[in-house]
Chain A
Amino acid sequence: MTTPPKDGNAPLAIELKGISKAFGPVQANKNISIQVARGSIHGIIGENGAGKSTLMSILYGFYKADSGEIHIGGNKTEIPDSQAAISAGIGMVFQHFKLVQNFTVLENIILGAEDGPMLRPSLARARSVLKKLSDEYELNVDPDALVEDLSVGHQQRVEILKALYREADILILDEPTGVLTPAEADHLFRILEGLRKEGKTIILITHKLREIMEITDTVSVMRRGEMTATVKTSETSPEELAELMVGRKVLLRVDKKPAHPGGNVLEIENLRYVDSAGVERLKGISLNVRAGEIVGIAGVSGNGQSELLEVLGGYADAKGTIRMNGQEIDLTGKHSDGQSRRARGIAHVPEDRHHEGLILPYTAWENTVFGYHRDPEIQKGLLMDNAKIKEEAAAKMERFDVRPPNPNLAAANFSGGNQQKIVLAREIEKSPDLLLVGQPTRGVDIGAIEFIHQQIVRLRDEGKAILLVSVELDEIMSLSDRIAVMFDGQIMGERLPEETDQTELGLLMAGVTDTNKSEPEKADA
């Protein structure tokens, strides 16, 4: 607090001066300076790979900056490890929670912050502190519950409580809403506002513009390792932020004409699927997708959407009926696999492009034919016509704007967005009757999102049927012609995007069907 703040009123909680960090030839952070006022919510927004996480890892002692200074509360502070960050009053809530699943909430909270060599006194003190914190900040969670039994939203509260128990004044949250239902996200924002009121400083890292606009006081934009701007949230707009993130004008809304659906391409009746652990994941799904329309499946991750795609894509056996262009599809046995599905005109862009969509160590050109590698036109006698495949791959990559357009590069060497474009190119160019798309833009930057959305809409306009699964409600709302909401292996209802809103869908996603009574509290309890 010895440093006079720039704007002359609020004292600074954190000031970073000229932070740089390189990993080999990659400059992850370039001369970053940032000032965060005490008692404010400061957003940091940027595309994947823009260097947000690196910056926060430096602040939490995971990495050491190559150069630059960290000032906390006005004092220059060295943060060589996490212990130092914790003592400096910094708490971090990671995107992937750092909790011990089979420990109780209380055990997780004291881990590493025990009072002495014996556990009992630590647990007793933690219990009383926890109760106080819960009451103060609406952070209710059962101290004796096992973490693995808690919902994701509650697990996140445990992470926040962990930081508060360590008396953190500065709380860093990395993509905190990615795994939450809209109701849970709203609750989180209320908690954050409560913390701000108590004088805590919050740094919110996200790529969601809506959240930035909703809750932050100031926002910093990062692009390619540099801090491109820091602005007051009230003085900016989503369009301006998007432009600052990407470096050019971006269309935030999907530009599409009304759909002209034709006949049914895909009909699903009473589809049931039990996974290897014996849990019924699909509990009687019925759904149809018509030619020339995009049906979006909304839902919080883990409610059966992945399993639905797996069954449709042919790599999980199920019970029920699926008809493709009026003809029934085998759901079990030797005619039920990815190969036979593709023969029926179903193409699949899987949710997990790293494990299912691509073979990362293989080259881009090899990846452009997987699944279609038996096609007669790319065979030459007993062998594959590699020269032809390469040539076609180069052309596909050109059309799908894959950067760099080098088919000989391993798939692992492309950015998330470009990897996804390779998968899309492979599946869309076969002109399938039905395209299954899972999380098309997960981990993909804004510029590429725009392109991927355009390609999906283009395929629809060619009269193809598209089934889209996404946990991003914005994506579902803007891309779909019809929305089905999944919860606990069932379809809770179908809505038209123009006749519904985030609140209604959010309630359906939480399993609340009586949407006249909107009680988001109940949904996440």
Chain B
Amino acid sequence: MDLDTLIQIGGSTIRLSTPLLLACLAGLFSERSGVIDIGLEGKMLIAAFFSAAFAFSTGSVWIGMLAGIAASMALSGLHGLASITFRGNQLISGVALNFLASGVTVLIAQVWFGQGGRTPSLMQGGRFEPITLPFAEALRGVPVLGPIYADMISGHSFLVYVALLAVPLTWWTLYRTRFGLRLRAVGEAPEAVDTAGVSVTGLRYSSLVITGVLCGLAGAYLATGLQAGFVREMSAGRGYIALAALIFAKWRPWYALFACLLFGFLQALSLRPDVVESVVSTTIPVQVMDALPYILTVVILAGFVGKAIPPRAGGEPYVKER
């Protein structure tokens, strides 16, 4: 196996990790505030559809992205209404949103475009184009690092870099700002936040707004970055994998990056069965390779990775006591 192959796999790992990472960070904000969000999947899906639909109609990928974010935030708001304001069960609300997104996207797509629940393929301007990082060409000559920089790190679309930057930004927000302190507190001990005179509801809604934005970006990336258009169920369980990655990462931003890269790597491998076969020198059915990320999800959720302690107040609506 040569360097080029490794660089190719590395590049596709980064691409495939991006939607996971954005969704995982989205879930991190929500769950750190004490609202369990199983609806990441649905929010990604609806964002994917609206970003593709608007990008196609307007010819602008940016308008598409904003539409995706708006759709995702709308679902996030619904989740907040159900689980924060009306103190409903957060799991049920999340599952309901997933069903809603799954049905609504196909329905609107069929009515709008009449192509069997998909959007037409996106042309130039409707997709995010690769960005060449500065000095990529100049440094290509440098042995090993040059090609890694030029072909693996550089040349991804805008949202890939947004996702990577979101990691330190999330870390900084959580651990260095007042908002982050309160956010972490409200997921652990909402009564402490409440008695300190800070609104639990306000904090939880704020974090759901961030969740909505990040999920919107994840969905937009799926339809206008990774692929060129929306097809039904195109999120393909990524929201759930992101949740698994979140648990694997113990609700921490840097760990989330590595967890998502791991899942992305497995997905990248499943696209290159030839490489895997040359390494293990035996034939592995494609289906097994395809299933790998999902198998890892099950293994992780079964708790084989050690104890992950979730935010203590997760899943419980806050009711003021005396």
A residues neighboring B (CB under 8 Å) = 53-54, 57, 60, 62-63, 81-86, 92, 94, 98-103, 107-108, 110-114, 116-120, 122, 162
Asked if residues B192 and A111 are in contact (CB atoms below 8 Å), the reply is: yes
Asked if residues A81 and B181 are in contact (CB atoms below 8 Å), the reply is: no
What are 20 residue pairs bridging A and B, where the CB atoms are less than 8 Å apart in the complex?
A: A60-B195, A81-B197, A82-B196, A94-B195, A98-B191, A98-B194, A98-B195, A100-B184, A100-B185, A101-B188, A103-B184, A103-B185, A107-B185, A111-B181, A111-B182, A111-B196, A114-B178, A118-B177, A119-B175, A119-B177
The answer to whether A116 and B194 touch (CB under 8 A), given A98-B189, A100-B189, is no
In whole angstroms, how far apart are the Cα atoms of A477 and B279 in the complex? 75
In whole angstroms, how far apart are the Cα atoms of A1 and B194 in the complex? 30
Q: Which A residues are CB-close (under 8 A) to B312?
A: 101
Asked if residues A82 and B194 are in contact (CB atoms below 8 Å), the reply is: yes
Any A CB within 8 A of the CB of B112: no
**Whole-angstrom distance between the Cβ of A111 and the nearest chain B Cβ:** 5
Asked if residues A113 and B196 are in contact (CB atoms below 8 Å), the reply is: yes
In whole angstroms, how far apart are the Cα atoms of A84 and B188 in the complex? 24
In whole angstroms, how far apart are the Cα atoms of A60 and B189 in the complex? 19
In whole angstroms, how far apart are the Cα atoms of A94 and B320 in the complex? 14
In whole angstroms, how far apart are the Cα atoms of A417 and B184 in the complex? 39
Q: Closest chain B residue to A109 by CB distance?
A: B196
Any A CB within 8 A of the CB of B113: no
Any A CB within 8 A of the CB of B262: no
Task: Report B173-214 residues with CB < 8 Å from chain A CB.
Answer: 175-182, 184-185, 188-189, 191-198
In whole angstroms, how far apart are the Cα atoms of A23 and B322 in the complex? 12
Asked if residues B177 and A102 are in contact (CB atoms below 8 Å), the reply is: no
**Whole-angstrom distance between the Cβ of A74 and the nearest chain B Cβ:** 23
Partner of B177, one of A54, A85, A112, A117: A117
Partner of A117, one of B179, B184, B185: B179
Residue of B177, B192, B194, B322 with highest tally of chain A CB at under 10 A: B192
Closest 9 CB pairs of A and B: A112-B196, A83-B197, A98-B192, A82-B197, A114-B178, A98-B195, A100-B189, A112-B198, A100-B185
Partner of A112, one of B180, B182, B184, B322: B182
Q: Which A residues are CB-close (under 8 A) to B192?
A: 98-100, 108, 111
- A-B contact sample (16 more), CB < 8 A, given A101-B312, A118-B177: A60-B195, A84-B197, A85-B197, A98-B189, A98-B196, A99-B192, A103-B184, A103-B188, A107-B185, A111-B181, A111-B198, A118-B178, A119-B175, A119-B176, A119-B180, A122-B178
Q: Closest chain A residue to B320 by CB distance?
A: A62
The answer to whether A99 and B178 touch (CB under 8 A), given A81-B197, A82-B195, is no
Asked if residues A116 and B188 are in contact (CB atoms below 8 Å), the reply is: no
Q: Closest chain B residue to A57 by CB distance?
A: B322
Asked if residues B196 and A92 are in contact (CB atoms below 8 Å), the reply is: no
Q: Closest chain A residue to B312 by CB distance?
A: A101
Asked if residues A112 and B320 are in contact (CB atoms below 8 Å), the reply is: no
Asked if residues A112 and B188 are in contact (CB atoms below 8 Å), the reply is: no
Asked if residues A119 and B181 are in contact (CB atoms below 8 Å), the reply is: yes
Q: Closest chain B residue to A82 by CB distance?
A: B197
Q: Which B residues are CB-close (under 8 A) to A117?
A: 177-179
